[in-house]
Structure 1
């Protein structure tokens, strides 16, 4: 008997989450086998879930689902009694397979609830009583509370948040590894709090809590117009500590006016500009019980009148240090500057050690690239200073790293460092939202492999609590257009479901009553900057993509009104409800066919706007169908049809000529299914000719680039897509790679071949939008995709495609069901024989298409295809072979037609 194992239990996508406020948490699990050669075609036919309020299922069982006949193993909703606040719930799962055999119980996992209602917050907001000018940069605040406990502690939990960014300490030790808490949300509507288990931090007798609070995104300088106080003008802290003793009694410590406040060593801390730290001003031991807070240094905290109704539990994984890098070189520039080369364009900060005299100042300035003479270059930072300043206290070796700022950089200019600048003194701390790695792509072309690494590093650098456009200049905002363009690629590389769940909820919160969508989320721009096509469409594309990749119907339902609001907003623009030809649009942003002096490509804005209007209408109809909203589904299918008709009438001649003979125009018409029949054939021919006329170079901007290779591959021109993708000269995806790029550039020629720059004004070297080609590498080259009818890779679509320029390609995706693997290798280029290796996780089915294959000559595991196990259906088509596969590992050998 083969042992079926239920493993990798998660609750709301996370392993053993603490401090959640979801009323009905959703549970997921994966099925594995202890056998070294598990059988194929394993499916779940039933499950049973048990939930208890302690570790003993026999005494404290609160919900038993019983045996439920279902193959659902992803996002299964808890349906027991209402959950109580501040309670740990344990759960376990067993399943039955398609042979009726039970797995046995899984290992126990848990989730813990936080504070579930506003009434449960007994703490008060507190702020400093010192007089300050909110229009200027301010030192960080210190908040302190000493207290005593007497008894054996069995559990202690802190719930904390701030207006600003905070760091929490208890008895002199930092609590947790999270950075930039409470994260960035639409603060006036949604403010996260964090939950920490501090049981082991407490000591019998005297204890002390400390909170350090800085401006951060809440009231610091944001955007490129020197605007401050965008969410509020006062920093504040909120904390509640619950201590449970062995006898069942409880002690609660809350933030109130019994706390004291002061200033410490952080004299300036800004997201864009960096941090100034004067170590001479440190208050050693300020967050310990024995510290003496004198009246001159410390004053009573003031109660701050601020609502708590917008408080929510942490939704996303927090930001953390995920990797540490050492400099690969330290050198002198031609201008005589001392510069560290970290070898990678990264996001985070430098931690360093130094031995200097009191008052000695060390300055670190950060940059992405050097200029063509090899000098330190900061022109593309605009107003962002990206500078950290440390002033020594002069007491032996000192160590410093910032707390409430981050930089985007590869190079660091070091000024004022005493003695030799050596690599061992400096460490680059890579910071990102700590998302689980889910995907890997590799092929025979080393430049493409570097491109994939650059895509991943771009995602790491820009997924810092929100999906930012860039991490270095005076921007770093959650641009909606960039996010929707890249979301599918991001979902291959990392588990982004919690990340985008949080972000689309902020989009919904910031969306106007008429459905208008701001350019950036959270919204920090003037009120009139909203609702460009392809940018506002993030309201539809992002929730749909999370559903597609994770099967998350609840988020789709939750965001449905937002999705519908955006489509209706488009319908209400202008005089024609089926064309969008009014208002401001970014167009094909940074398209290379732009007119001189313009950032917008030459594809007409109304063509782009109407195309995305049609696309969002189609996706909304599909979402309505998934959610059982039959009337809406029919209504929006009809809307899509009408917008498509008007698109054709407006932009396509009767002979099939598209009015905009651009790569982007043709790509959108094809990708969004706006042309059919002879018109479609002509548009395809036009696109191919446009690419060939450019000698297999692209001219697309932010709007057309994500779909360009997809459209070519899906319309019979995979060879053209490959030539585009493998093009090394400008403009192409690989040109920056040949120039030494380690992340994705904002501009195709951010650095020109002669070493000069495209511009100073807008030239980020870590800007993930063009990294959307990663989606094509996974989906098309390696061939891993899913189906919206059975989303989340319940039904896996596999279509590995050999092509000129690759000897092999392979990808893995750790889906919600388990690892999917698709790899192919060309065995003999002369005969066209190739091998495809595939792995399909239990409880899923795959539809495999092998192009140009023949059933009579196809082998699986060395056997004729008709003798292979786990294959439910076999079909010969004109273009190849289609197979329906159960779970398991397979190896197919085929000969491709020459």
Structure 2
């Protein structure tokens, strides 16, 4: 059988990216239907053109035949040039020496790599900016590098450039400003051309510590077919004007007066003599850096399910789903008619909106008609979190087609899926999925609807594993790790929000994001780059925590086990317990990170410090058969990290079980930190039935209760609350249950970074079937488990991975394919791809190489 060509070629974890900086990482996936196949070597070439690459010539860099099982390599050729396109492809050899065909050709295009490569100036002076220029020769390639603050939209010859919205992603603009790179070759025309920029406020505003003006910078690089080049930049020759966007605000919405539109302002031939000259300005202090994270985009549309009329002239569209984005309005009416769209998560049965939980956010878009025919409006520089849209001032009577929901978020690739025989589990998963996407807006936000929408470090560190199981998160999280490092104080403290657009105090369970997120990326994707970038910040953070500790007990904290049932503050779990636990966990992880990076002294140092914190934790908080107050969280945390003395494990576990089963009738009583680890801890100690009972409750407090009360995303609180205050109905911090679905119901968990080795061990719970898949850097992992008279289990292990498959022994004999490998409880034989078989704790533990395996238990 021939070996297949590599697929899924990615540069910096992105397919054919533009704006690449530094020495990029190049990765690929190898596939083969045979079992036990491994890559033994590869050869990668980088070329100046697609034609050269197709000739199998690496005139930029040729790695030669490299003996390696790794499916990622860092570019190691001559320094890359700014604004240059490179083409690359790869082939591989398997463990039998068979050579694959070359892959298809992929490419990457570099950004402006040096500060001196920027010849453009920052300009300001209006909400619309334009510049005409001539193109007199055939164009081979045209690339534009651009950003605007707070937000921008780029136009060229009357068309929008690219599909990004709400760009650039938020950063601390005093540290970094992200620019986008676009290929506009096909958009240029011979003769006159026009570049236009629309600017919005975003977060580049006085209330966030920046200048209160809109600025832009752009550089267009044109290469003609005759080899000559031309450049168009923002400078004093540009013209500016105001436009139809009268007002725009992230929280309050957008006011758009179509009567103020300037038709064809972004096309050649427009008379801009009455426009103002722009001002060349200094611009923000932050360095220009290429934006390589997934852009925020219009991802899909939602048709409303119902049109309600609570009062004459008031029309409320029920989308049936809580999400982030805006409404697309279709309307026809007299000039000057003002249509108002108000957004809300909640409404009563008649359609009356309840907007109290938006707090100060007005969440209102206003459109003023130009008149003269059908008009379609979408906002440009705001977004909302909502399910309901109230429309007033509509001329005539709208229909269900008059308003469409536009789903907007960072366009991360979906990579995971899970489905079970329990509809409630599936509904919870769907609610988490929608909630996570609603809170990916260039940073991982807490909520999309009220006057907040910040990059809270606590919410994001708790949900990082869930997000990595569902979506391709490397480029997104690597950008956000930079935000955290930028926000870190000189003494090592990590604030509660990054970028720090709110100045709020820190907390160990929030600041731990500087450790948890890089470590999660390493575990799930296997690349050490993020550990190398973050290591100094991680070490400074842990040293900061130790500076606050007394005799290795950390009593400093702000929020701790936030939002337990019936409370906001952790009334039953002392801050000193959660803070000291974080000190232990972060010291332990830092020691492991140091080991990965070869920092032996640090590995020993922080390993020893972790041991001392563990001893102090037990001395301070262990009270016989429970910890501290005996709350669920107090017992769960030390059990999860194996901190409990061996002779006390059973007593502490039993205390936890009594609290869950007797005191709370199989319900949780945890805040966000305890919730993250409760179910997994119960499963770890053989109590998966209890964990499953908690996860599938439908009475308060539970995820099922939220759904029973109409939730389509996970709430911020366990209670149904609609009044003013802290009660978002689209939060992600309690969505961590989804990681347990993948890790314990489907049984998929990483054993070695990047899924080089993983385990499949589904918990014994009352499910007829569970199916799950996770796309990994080595390819797709798949698990299917069906329970009936016997058990059927199918597992797919990608090339380059190994797996420890634990098949639930619901019978005494097992077949793999057509081969009986266990008869009457005794292991009989092995088969192709299986390296070891043994019976262990109600499971048949099978060590397998790559391939597809089908087990039948009877």
Long gaps (5+) in structure 1? 129-139, 221-227, 752-756
> Would you say 1:672 and 2:629 are equivalent positions?
no
**Mapped contact 1:118–1:309 kept (Cα < 8 A):** no
- Alignment partner, residue 169 of structure 1: 155
For residue 89 of structure 2, the aligned residue among 87, 92, 99 is 92
Partner of 2:525: 550
Aligned to 1:259: 238
* CA-CA distance at 1:186 after TM superposition: 1.5
1:684/1:835 Cα in 2 relative to 1: closer, same or farther (>3 Å)?
Answer: same
Question: Is 1:863 matched up with 2:851?
Answer: no
How big is the shift at 1:372? Answer: 7.1
- The corresponding residue for 2:561 is 588
Q: Residue 157 of structure 1 corresponds to which residue in structure 2?
A: 143
Residue aligned with 2:30, SS: strand
Find 2:494's aligned residue among 514, 517, 530.
Answer: 517
Correspondence for 2:747 among 777, 783, 787: 783
Structure 2 match to 1:240: 219
Structure 2 equivalent of residue 840 of structure 1: 797
Q: 1:622 deviation in Å? A: 1.0
Contact 1:170 1:287 in 2 (8 A): yes
* Of 73, 77, 80, the match for 1:76: 73
SS of the residue aligned with 1:776?
A: helix
1:794 equivalent in alignment to 2:756? yes
Q: Name 1:225's counterpart in structure 2.
A: none
Tell me the distance in 2 between the aligned counterparts of 1:18 and 1:315: 8
Q: What does residue 439 of structure 2 align with?
A: 462
Q: State the 1:333 CA deviation.
A: 2.3
1:284-683 equivalence runs, <5 A = 284-295=263-274, 298-306=275-283, 310-333=287-310, 337-371=314-348, 375-526=352-503, 529-576=504-551, 578-582=552-556, 584-592=557-565, 594=567, 599-653=569-623, 655-683=624-652
Q: Which residue is 2:826 aligned to?
A: none
* Distance change (3 Å), C-alpha of 1:286 and 1:62: same
Counterpart of 1:40 in structure 2 is 35
- Kept in 1, the 8 Å contact 2:714–2:735? The answer is yes
Q: 1:231 aligns with which of 193, 196, 210?
A: 210
8 A contact 1:601–1:701 mirrored in 2: no
Q: 1:881 aligns with which of 844, 847, 855?
A: 844
Are residues 1:143 and 2:129 paired? yes
Quote the Cα distance in structure 2 between the aligned partners of 1:711 and 1:575.
28
The Cα shift of 1:802 comes to: 3.3
Contact kept in structure 2, 1:145 and 1:259, CA below 8 Å: yes
The aligned length equals: 847
2 CA distance for matches of 1:450 and 1:333? 29
RMSD: 1.6
8 and 390 in structure 1: CA distance in 2 versus 1, 3 angstrom threshold: same
Shift of 1:697: 0.8
1:792 aligned counterpart, secondary structure:
helix
Is the 1:516–1:530 contact (alpha carbons within 8 Å) kept by the matching residues of 2?
no
TM-score, structure 2 length as denominator?
0.97
CA distance in 1, matches of 2:640, 2:550: 26
Cα pair 1:516 1:566 within 8 Å, conserved: yes
CA contact (8 A) 2:19 2:292 kept: no
Cα offset, 1:852, TM superposition: 4.3
SS of equivalent to 1:343: strand
Corresponding position of 1:712 = 682
- 1:136 corresponds to: none
- Structure-2 change in CA distance of 1:232 and 1:797 (3 Å): farther
SS in 1 for 2:438: helix
For residue 421 of structure 1, report the CA deviation from its aligned partner: 1.0
Contact 1:169 1:209 in 2 (8 A): yes
1:16 aligned onto 2:16: yes
Say whether the 8 Å CA contact 1:579–1:610 is kept in structure 2.
yes
Find the partner of 2:190 among 196, 201, 204.
204
| Structure 2, unpaired ranges of 5+ | 822-828
Query: What's the TM-score once normalised by structure 1's chain length?
Result: 0.92
Corresponding residue number in structure 2 for 1:103: 100
Deviation (angstroms), 1:60: 6.1
- For the 8 Å contact 2:112–2:118, the answer to whether it is kept is yes
Deviation, structure 1 residue 229: 4.4
Residue 814 of structure 1 deviates from its aligned partner by 1.0
Cα separation, 2, equivalents of 1:493 and 1:83: 34
Aligned counterpart, 2:824: none
Which of residues 762, 782, 797 is equivalent to 1:821?
Answer: 782
Shift of residue 396 of structure 1?
A: 1.2
1:692 equivalent in alignment to 2:661: yes
The range that moved more, 672-681 or 253-262, is 672-681
Partner of 1:133: none
Q: Report how far residue 894 of structure 1 moved.
A: 2.5
Distance (Å, rounded) in 2 between the aligned partners of 1:791 and 1:690: 36
